Amino acid sequence: MRLLPLKNCWVTGVTIALYCSLVFANDSRVILPESANDNLELLLQHDIGDELPSNYLEVFVGEQTNCCSGKSAVAGRYFVENRKVTFEPAFEFILGQSYTVVSRSVVGSNHGTTQVQEFSIEPSEKTVRPSVVGIYPSGDTLPENTLRFYIHFSTPMRPHLTTKFIRLLDAEGRSDTAAFMNFKQELWSKDRKRLTLLMDPGRIKRGVAQNMRLGPALVEGNRFSIVVKEGWPSANGDSKASRFEKRFLVSERLSTLPQIDHWQISVPHVLTQDPIIIDFDRPFDRVLAQHAINIIDQNGKPIQGTVSLQKNEEKWIFMPQETWLDTTVQLVVDTRLEDVAGNNLKELLDKALLINPEETKNQDLDATTQRRWLKLRSG
């Protein structure tokens, strides 16, 4: 159908009138891409017949001022559907790169207009390609009662897709669909770059219905892997993460309480900025270990510094911001600190495992911290 005359537009209503005036101004309309993988579209007022679609719509690299005579157009494919010409570029558009679109409303006639317009797709801050940058605990060998996994992404991710993209596979590649806790609410960090994945505690705790019915999800002596399947979209939907797999061997259960007396603590010299290094008696929860252990001075004031975890979360390193001045400092450990199996300093996750109740006899079960004085080495 050819264009409605302008006066007809007026009688049909304000919205239509506006549309008509737009169409009249340009005779055809180009829909520009909004993201790197979008196509371009040209909406025409007539069929193009046997004409080449490239006579109607072409995209060139560069700014409008230098376009486009003598230049080759960007390669791609055309699709013609009724009065719509779609250009699908052979490759994605480059973010931040200027492109110029040349569109024609009628080819080979003086009546048509040629539109030249420039566009560029601005990179958003979140255009880092999404990928899994780490899964913790990072060890290749994990205890059978491992409770929590942290999956770190390079960029904020779209939520509510955990069950679709994450799998626990056994050595034969069989998926255990009941391995992880299935909350309504997923456990994402505020920036949605870290996902906390909880093994279903019902599978871990002995004698609980789930454990009785399905057995533990991880079985000592066997190999498993956590797979993040390909295609998880980033929060802004720009692109998708590639596949990631963490393989590990399952070792025996961690069935004793963590003991800070068993930690090997290496103390620095006074008047240096050397670190305090703790070799734990087991791997600890990465997130908790970064906050639950502090160093205070003789007046009880926290000493500032940065904490890093190494050796599969079995080594804690505290790098002070300033030179050590006190000859003694205090190590303060929050008793809520948990090992990778969710055992804290006061109780085991699975109390059925407490073989020796004497173990906790000397502990002050009301204490919220455990403390040790550390004597720094003399300069």
Partner 1 sequence: MARRNNMISLIVVLAGGMFSMSGAYASELDIEFAGALEFSDTGTLFVGDNYNGSIYAFDLEAETKSEKVVPVNIGDIDVKISDVLGVAPSALSINDMAVHPLSAEVFISVSRIGNFESAPAIVKVAQDATIELVDLNSLGFQKQELASYPNQDTTFRPRGLGKSPPMVRDIAKGNIKLSSLAIMDMEFYKGELFVSGVAFDNFLSTLRRLPYPFSGEQTLASVEMYHISHDQFETRAPVRAMSIQEIDGKPQLVAAYTCSPIVLIGLDEIVDGAKIKARTLMDYGNGQPIDMVSYSMNGEEMLFLTSNSRSPHVIPVSSLNNAKVYTPEELPRGGKSDMMPIMPVGDTGKTVMFDGMSMQIAPLGDSLFVSLTRDMYTGSLNMDSNYNGFPNRLHNLTAEFDFPQYWTDKAK
Binding residues for partner 1, rule: CB under 8 A, are: 36-39, 59-62, 71-77, 79, 86, 88-95, 97, 99, 123, 127, 129, 239
**Integer Cα distance of 366 and 360 in angstroms:** 12
Closer to partner 1 by CB, 97 or 323: give it. 97
Cβ neighbours for 349, distance < 8 A, ≥ 6 positions apart: 145, 147, 201, 204, 205, 338, 341, 342, 343
* Six-digit token string for 260: 């800070």
Min CB(32)–partner 1 separation in Å: 14
Q: CB-wise, 129 or 311, nearer to partner 1?
A: 129
Q: Least Å distance between CB 130 and partner 1? A: 10
What is d(CA 343, CA 264) in angstroms, rounded to the nearest whole number?
Answer: 19
336: CB partners within 8 A, 6+ apart: 288, 292, 344, 345, 368
In angstroms, give the least distance from the CB of 29 to partner 1: 20
State the residue for tokens 């906790």: 360
Q: Given the complex with partner 1, which of 66 and 264 has the nearer CB atom?
A: 66
* Contact residues for 267 (Cβ-Cβ < 8 A; gap 6+): 276, 374, 375, 376, 377
Nearest approach, Cβ of residue 89 and partner 1 (Å): 5
Place of tokens 């994605």: 92
> Closest approach of Cβ 59 to partner 1, in Å?
7
Is the CB of 124 or the CB of 182 nearer to partner 1? 124
Comparing CB distances to partner 1, the nearer of 33 and 139 is: 33
Q: Look at residues 220, 77, 74 and name the one whose alpha carbon lies nearest to residue 144.
A: 220
The span from the CA of 285 to the CA of 343, in Å, is 10
Cβ-based nearer residue to partner 1, 196 or 242? 242
CA distance 122 to 35: 8
Nearer to partner 1, 62 or 134 (CB): 62
Q: Which is nearer to partner 1, 77 or 206 (CB)?
A: 77
* Cβ nearer to partner 1, comparing 33 with 137: 33
Q: Report in angstroms how near the CB of residue 173 gets to partner 1 at its nearest.
A: 22
Distance of closest approach, residue 41 Cβ to partner 1, in angstroms: 12
- State in angstroms the smallest separation of the CB of 76 from partner 1: 7
Q: Please report how close the Cβ of residue 36 comes to partner 1 at its closest, in angstroms.
A: 6
